[in-house]
Structure 1
């Protein structure tokens, strides 16, 4: 018998990964690559996906490489609020959902989404190799603020295995294959957004 899931009622939030931000955001391609991996896992595990844009008319749509891979039932909302917690999202979000968030900017929209979700009683995971800002110096401060508020700061691979929890689950073969397929890319994204083990150590003491 497999263990009960540790991450109950999972949901994936993709925050404002838009066309106009591609050149402005620190290591934007790494954020997109991590998001792609989590989208693949969400497809395998039937995790609901929520994606937002910030003022799409001015800043463009979600980048095409993500847009084409969003599940057909993805909840998509354009917003002016910095937080993703807009009515279109909240009315579709399970009240018991454990939300995992990737996207930008870590110190603005990701932070405010996380704080709003925590205030509403949700458990929140923030993926370190899946969030960024224009200025990289903003990232550790934002992560610290979210962690102090009660969010769980993790990495994409750690989240995948925590989501699975038990290798006897029938979906494990597909998830293990996804991890193996993305092994080098995961390493590159971690190096880009988290840094060396020495550098990362400073953030882990938040």
Structure 2
């Protein structure tokens, strides 16, 4: 199945100041996550972010928070972002396709993905924009999520599928700004 901008929402899971420094390749994960959020905002795709126990793990990292604009940032205590119903209060969450980025792949991302799949959503995990403390945990989580029906994609897959056509008026801007 192809991703459509008009059907998608980006979910940024727990990219927080005290967690990101211990993530394997955390700076790269953050860079790819920022790229995804900027792309989504430039194409009118809504973004939702979560913070896991911010009193302990800190707020969303400033580099990402600055790009979220007015996107909702939901605090959570459960590992899954869907464990309580606060996410349902956001009208954009009715969209059927969820593009998931964030940390940790084997904990909050994975449990959220399983709940999204159980709720009947199509789920796409941007491989380079998720991370865990160890590469092994990330790899196992990606494989397990794939086995349960999530699709593992790259950020460029998302960009080109959202654009759909080379004659889209936004195509050149996206190429110049994001694909380079």
Please tell me the TM-score bracket, short chain as reference: over 0.9
Q: Are residue 56 (structure 1) and residue 54 (structure 2) matched?
A: yes
Secondary structure in 2 matching 1:145? helix
Structure 2 gap segments, 5+ residues each: none
Report the Cα distance in structure 1 between the residues aligned to 2:157 and 2:123, rounded to whole angstroms: 14
How big is each residue's C-alpha offset from its partner over 1:70-116, in whole Å with a ceiling of 9 and x where there is no partner?
122x1111100101114222221432331001100001101011110
How big is each residue's C-alpha offset from its partner over 1:106-147, in whole Å with a ceiling of 9 and x where there is no partner?
011010111100111110100100111011111111011111
How big is each residue's C-alpha offset from its partner over 1:129-180, in whole Å with a ceiling of 9 and x where there is no partner?
0111011111111011111111110111111111112112122122111233
Report the Cα distance in structure 1 between the residues aligned to 2:86 and 2:58, rounded to whole angstroms: 19
Higher Cα Rg, which structure? 1
Q: TM-score, normalised by structure 2?
A: 0.92
The equivalent residue for 2:19 is: 21
Q: TM-score, normalised by structure 1?
A: 0.81
Secondary structure in 1 matching 2:36? helix
Q: Which moved more, 1:138-147 or 1:89-98?
A: 89-98
Matches of residues 104-123 of structure 1 in structure 2 within 5 Å? 104-123=103-122
The equivalent residue for 2:133 is: 134
Structure 1 gap segments, 5+ residues each: 182-206
Secondary structure in 2 matching 1:121? coil
Q: Quick check: 1:44–1:174 contact (8 Å CA) kept in 2?
A: no
Over the residues paired in the alignment, what is the CA RMSD in angstroms?
1.4
Q: Are residue 47 (structure 1) and residue 45 (structure 2) matched?
A: yes
